[in-house]
Amino acid sequence: MMTTAQDRTTGYYNDVRETCSAEENAAYQDAELQRIVRHAYDHAPAIRKKFDSVGIKPEEVGTVRDLEKLPITHKRDLSALQEMDPPFGGFLGVPLEQLKRICMSPGPIYEPEEIHSENDRWTQAFFAAGFRRGDIGQITFSYHLVPPAFWFEDALHRLGCVATPGGVGNTDLQVRMMRDVKVTGYVGTPSFLVNIAEKARQIGYDLQTDLRLAVGFVAGEMLPESLRDQLEADFGMLLRQGYGTADVGCLAYECFHKTGMHIPYNCVVEIVDPDTGRQVPAGDPGEGVDTVFDKAYPMIRFGTGDLS
């Protein structure tokens, strides 16, 4: 597999969706929103209750702007909602036998995922970061209970990459695996990549000849530009970052140009006034409120609690 000569800076994961006009994108999002709203209202009791609480019918939510008519389900409330209606709080939108896995995040909060999930938002992020077919990606997030590592592995597979499940810790073994199987991609936190560099040097490895890292995707921590510059220079790699939550997955990601975050085409990210739930003008700060087009777990107006 020839991976080091890959073109990692051009192309699109989905050129139709990623190169369309703003008007075409708005029409696509409105159509997908109508579809998921109808599905969620019909199959997820918590969503039906949300609509009924404000006297809104699914056909009244035809555009992204119409989402303002609905209340926000806050992350801080999910654990209590699931305790009252276990295990998913009434948000499961498909029969249980259609699920591939059930994960658990701190709270506890249970997150279901469908066997044939159409959620490719992390795949969009990995392609934009520079991952390409034939890469071997080492995933250093936890595989214990929480969903991110599984999502990242699925994303690599969609791109035609191989995954190595490094998990958390075991730095010396992870470095050895990177060298022995010629890992070309890193997936994890920035701080653990620093640990990888330190351990590799202690062993006596050269970061650019003994290791073959060409691309990395980091999340879960801040990535100061000074640290990015240092890691890219040390490994001779591209390093990009993304943002998401364990509840709904990927919500934003960088591309090669580093001019800000892209929003995946198959979700809606609102920035709202935390007091009113109304969408704020572009450039104003507010809470990130997200709607994902996920039939198994159709979170509509999910309040992350994060300011953006």
Cα–Cα distances in Å, from 53 out to 49, 57, 72?
Answer: 6, 10, 12
> Can you say whether the dihedral through the CA atoms of 59, 65, 67, 70 is positive or negative?
negative
Max CA-CA distance within the chain? 66
**114, β-bridge pairs:** 99
Q: Which residues pair with 99 in a beta bridge?
A: 114
pLDDT, position 147: 95
Low-confidence residues in the chain, pLDDT < 70: 1-4
Radius of gyration of the chain (CA): 20
Helix H segments across the chain?
15-18, 22-43, 45-53, 75-84, 121-129, 148-158, 171-180, 190-203, 225-235
Task: Give per-residue pLDDT as tens, 6-51.
Answer: 899 999 999 999 999 999 999 999 999 999 999 999 999 999 999 9
Angle at CA of residue 19, ends 291 and 308, nearest 5°: 40
- 178 near 138, Cβ under 8 Å? yes
Identify the pLDDT of residue 2: 37
With tokens 């809606």, the residue in question is 268
pLDDT for the residue numbered 6: 86
Q: Kindly report the pTM of this predicted structure.
A: 0.94
